[in-house]
Structure formats: C-alpha cells, structure tokens
Amino acid sequence: MEVFRITHYLYTDLLASGKSARWNNRGKFIIYTTGSRALACLENLVHRNGEGLNSLFKILTIEIPNSVKIKSLCTDELYTDWQVFTNSYFTRQIGDEFLSQNKYPILKVPSVIIPEESNYLINPNNIDFRKIKTKSIEDFLFDNRLK
C-alpha cells in the first residue's frame, strides 16, 4: 500500500516532530500520512491556512508492505462530534493510547476534512516501522488558486 506526505523540502525523512496535533499530544511522536496525494494537499491547506505555501515542498510516496498490520478506526467508533477542534482532546487520547500500546505500526483514521477518506498514522517506535520505506520524493507545488 502507498501513502503520501507533503513536507517542506528540509524535512523529507520519516520523522515525527512530537508537536501536538489532532491524534497526539505534545511529546508523543507519530507520523501523519494520507491515502492520496489530493488529501495530503488538502490537509496541508487546512493546517497552513494558505500561509507558507510559497515555500519549496516535497511529496513523499511511502510504501507500507502488506505484511504490516494496520489498526483501523471508523467514525462510528469515535466520540460524537470528534471532528470539532474542541473535541480533539478525545482523538489525542486515542492516538496516545495507540502509541503507548505499541501493538500496531499503523493507525488508520478518518480524515476530519473528508471522513470517507483516510489518514494513516505511523508509529516510529513500533518494531515493524523499519519495514516502511520512502519509495519516492518529488517536488510538490501548490496551485496558486488554492492560496
């Protein structure tokens, strides 16, 4: 399976920042990827709010072997109104628990932007993380009309 990640050109390694986000609290290291290039673009647009899109970006195509186990969450398993930012406390708890249990290298979650699409959260501390490889790194330009 291939997943995608758009990053600033200086950060093309598969590393987690440890910054707090939708599915993790500060100090919890998780790598955010998406199921498509288009969703990766939308996720960046939402989080960057149109700022910083003139910088040089790269899109990583990441290969997850079929042998790597994936834990999946569906929207009906989540807290009511889970996508509302003020409820991200609950999604962060889910992500932190996923990391601390360390049973799976990947957590598949619905995208807040398009819940029918998926984001794939990678646990860099899981033993199977070493099987996940960057397949390609290419230039990525945000269309000026999106800014």
pLDDT tens for each residue of 73-89: 988 888 888 888 888 89
In the structure encoding, which two tokens stand for residue 80, read together? 């009511």
What CA–CA distance (Å, rounded) separates 120 from 118? 7
Helix (H, G, I), strand (E, B) or coil at 95: helix
Return the domain boundaries, the chain: 2-141
Is the predicted pLDDT of residue 50 greater than 70, yes or no? no
User: Hey, CA dihedral for 88, 37, 64, 71, is it positive or negative?
Assistant: positive
**Residue 22 burial (C-beta neighbours within 10 Å; 0-12, 13-18, 19+):** buried
Assess contact for 73 and 93: CB atoms under 8 A.
no
Tokens of 103: 């049973």
Spell out the alpha helix ranges (H) of the chain: 37-48, 88-101
Q: How far is CA 42 from CA 68, 76, 94, 113, in A?
A: 26, 23, 23, 8
pLDDT digits (tens, 9 = 90+) for 80-127: 888 888 888 999 999 999 999 999 999 999 999 999 999 999 999 999
Backbone φ and ψ for 68, nearest 5 degrees, come out as -80, 125
pLDDT at 51: 59
Kindly report the pTM of this predicted structure.
Answer: 0.92
